[in-house]
Amino acid sequence: MFPDVLSPEVSDFFFAHRLDFATSGILTIPLNRKSCQETWENFETKYTKFYFIAIVSGHVESEMEVIDIDIGDDMRYKDTSKKMCSFREKMYCKNARRSITKILVLERGYFNERPVTKVLLLPLTANRRHQLRIHCLEIGHAIVGK
């Protein structure tokens, strides 16, 4: 497809970064060693920004929301590496760190006769595990399918 940009001496793929590996499993696969190094450096220096599009339940009323709610480990579960909670549940939430997400409404509509909103999610702080899901839940609009 792109024979002029592939390394002819290398038959392996280069993996620069795994985006949200445990959930979506998206991989960035540069076509050669040089672009792999540059891509990796962009992720490492946080030059690359992450934006997510999601469908959430219900109609989000305002066109833009900024959610500033700390997220930490939910101590009600044995494996806290997978269970996260907002700091509003203080008695269960340990090691909470500041988490801010900006939500922009792209479109409102219906899916299976239920109201939904297509939103752009922008983590404004270092993205915590499940940050987007937890923040959407906190404003009463769960990500559809999660």
pTM to 2 decimals?
0.71
Per residue in 30-86, pLDDT (tens digit) is 778 888 888 888 878 878 777 889 999 999 999 999 999 888 888 887 765 557 777
**What CA–CA distance (Å, rounded) separates 95 from 115?**
35
107: Cβ–Cβ under 8 A, 6 or more apart, which residues? 117, 118
Count, residues in the chain: 146
User: For 86-97, b where at least 16 C-beta lie within 10 A, e where not — what string?
Assistant: bbeeeeebeebe
Per residue in 85-99, pLDDT (tens digit) is 776 677 777 888 889
105 near 63, Cβ under 8 Å?
yes
Catalytic residue ranges? 20
Each domain of the chain, given as residue ranges in start order, spans: 1-48, 52-138
